[in-house]
Amino acid sequence: MNRKLLWPFSFNFFHFAAVAAVTPFLVLYYRKLGFNGDQIGLLTGITPLVTLFFAPLWTGLADNTNHHNRVLGFLLLAAASTLLIFPTFKLFLPVLLIAIAFNVFYGPLTSFADSAAMSMLGGQKALYGRIRLGGTIGYGIAAVLTGSLVQLLGLKAAFWSCAGLMLANFFISRRMEFSQAETRKTRLKEMSQLVANKQWFLFLILAFTGGVSLGILSNYLFPLMQELGSSGAVMGFALTIGTIAEIPVMLFSDRLLKKFKAGELLKIALLMTALRFMLYFLAKTPTAILLVQLTNGMTFPAFWIAGVSYADEHAPPGLHTTAQGVFGAVVWGFGNAAGGFAGGPLLDAIGSHALFLSFGVGFLGVLVLVTTLQRILKENQW
């Protein structure tokens, strides 16, 4: 790997290590404070919506001012600061406000990382997966180490660990490079063309669907496993298998993108996601769930690689960070929140098995819809 590319690789390593350090422990912390289910649901459900609004705002600001490194550095310091004071709040309203504040600053970080990675890759953009592999490795290592720290020092250690990792990334962020924008008049013209682009609209439909799948998997896989009698250790092992399954896809993403265009790979990944959800419906034992987890690499990770590549390819000059911000907001914000909110009532109404079947069928329907619209609109340049 080019020595220059070690910076975005390292940024992804520390960024996703920070994610692993705190996100698995947030609900545990809320429960420790004595919050009820409705309060916890609000705390976990509102954060994707914050990302939906603020990710495009911050990335747009960076593109408009050409101060990407300054904006990124500010976001990292602000997010780390909110984490350091997070554990000092005990009442619901202050905790809600500090959780919102954290996500205001944290939400756009992945978009900045992806924009810089694609810029620094230059003519080797197909190697993005190897840069993103740093995040997979960081997440896996931090998940183990932070768990031990929490057991030793308590839940506050999760917040402190995440803050420390973000501070490390602040120094790495100084070495990140971004595409520079054109004049303001040119940016406005290019942005209006992007919004009016029919291909971009169809792309965002798929991005939203991928976000829905993320929201379902993040919130409702463990309830399904619990119904099948899985222990906590087996649930953790399921996540480990899913993480390991990402590695081959990350390593050989360049070959996938060479064989399939980014848009085609996006649709293949969504098809695999639909099949994965149907396999969960058919699974009747915890072992069966673990086997289904082996498909993880060709579902959301492949979807994300394809989406980042597509957004970069179709971004107007000087709006690469903005395009990544919009893509990230639709996936992690709008889609993720929709999946989380819609899944809850369906879980109560039809159970976890039928929940996964319903969404699997729905994802196939979206694929058919987008393909049909492409033919009608004659937008086949994927």
Chunked in runs of 10, what are the mean pLDDT values of the chain (382 residues)? 82 92 81 83 79 84 88 96 94 94 92 89 83 88 80 89 96 88 55 70 94 86 85 76 88 87 93 97 94 92 91 81 84 84 81 93 96 79 58
User: 3-class DSSP state for residue 176?
Assistant: coil
CA distance linking residue 80 with residue 106, whole number of Å: 9
Backbone region of residue 182 per phi and psi (left: phi > 0; alpha: psi in -120 to 50; beta: other values): beta
Both 149 and 228 in one domain: the answer is no
Residue entry with tokens 């109404």: 349
Both 154 and 200 in one domain: the answer is no
Contact 321, 62 (CB under 8 A): yes
| CATH number for the domain that contains residue 355 | 1.20.1250.20
DSSP annotation of 318 reads: T
CA distance linking residue 55 with residue 105, whole number of Å: 9
CA distance linking residue 164 with residue 329, whole number of Å: 25
Both 62 and 41 in one domain: the answer is yes
Both 210 and 118 in one domain: the answer is no
Contact 211, 332 (CB under 8 A): yes
DSSP annotation of 34 reads: T
Both 3 and 105 in one domain: the answer is yes
Q: Which of 163, 180, 197 is the last residue of a domain?
A: 180
pTM of the model: 0.75
Q: Which of 150, 180, 210 is the last residue of a domain?
A: 180
pLDDT score at 341: 78
pLDDT score at 376: 84
Contact 243, 236 (CB under 8 A): no
Both 175 and 194 in one domain: the answer is no
The count of domains in the chain is: 2
Q: Which of 180, 213, 242 is the last residue of a domain?
A: 180
DSSP annotation of 181 reads: P
pLDDT score at 258: 86
Both 198 and 278 in one domain: the answer is yes
> φ, ψ for residue 112 (rounded to 5)?
-65, -45
Q: Which of 108, 100, 8, 12 is nearest to 61 (CA)?
A: 108
pLDDT score at 219: 75
Both 173 and 199 in one domain: the answer is no
Both 6 and 152 in one domain: the answer is yes
Both 3 and 115 in one domain: the answer is yes
DSSP annotation of 294 reads: G
Look up residue 43 and give its two tokens: 């705390």
DSSP 67-81: -HHHHHHHHHHHHHH
Look up residue 115 and give its two tokens: 């924009």
* CB neighbourhood size of 36 (10 A): 10
Longest dimension (CA), the chain: 60
Q: Which residues contact 362 (CB under 8 A, 6 or more apart)?
A: none
Residue entry with tokens 């993720």: 336
Q: Which residues contact 124 (CB under 8 A, 6 or more apart)?
A: 2, 254
Residue 290: give the domain boundaries. 189-382
Q: Which of 99, 105, 109, 90 is nearest to 47 (CA)?
A: 99
Look up residue 349 and give its two tokens: 């109404």
Contacts 24+ apart (CB under 8 A), 184-191: 184/64, 186/317, 186/318, 187/63, 187/64, 187/316, 187/318, 187/319, 190/316, 190/317, 190/318, 190/319, 191/316, 191/319, 191/322
Task: Report helix angle 109-121 to 37-65, nearest 10.
Answer: 40
Both 235 and 155 in one domain: the answer is no
Backbone region of residue 181 per phi and psi (left: phi > 0; alpha: psi in -120 to 50; beta: other values): beta
Both 140 and 256 in one domain: the answer is no
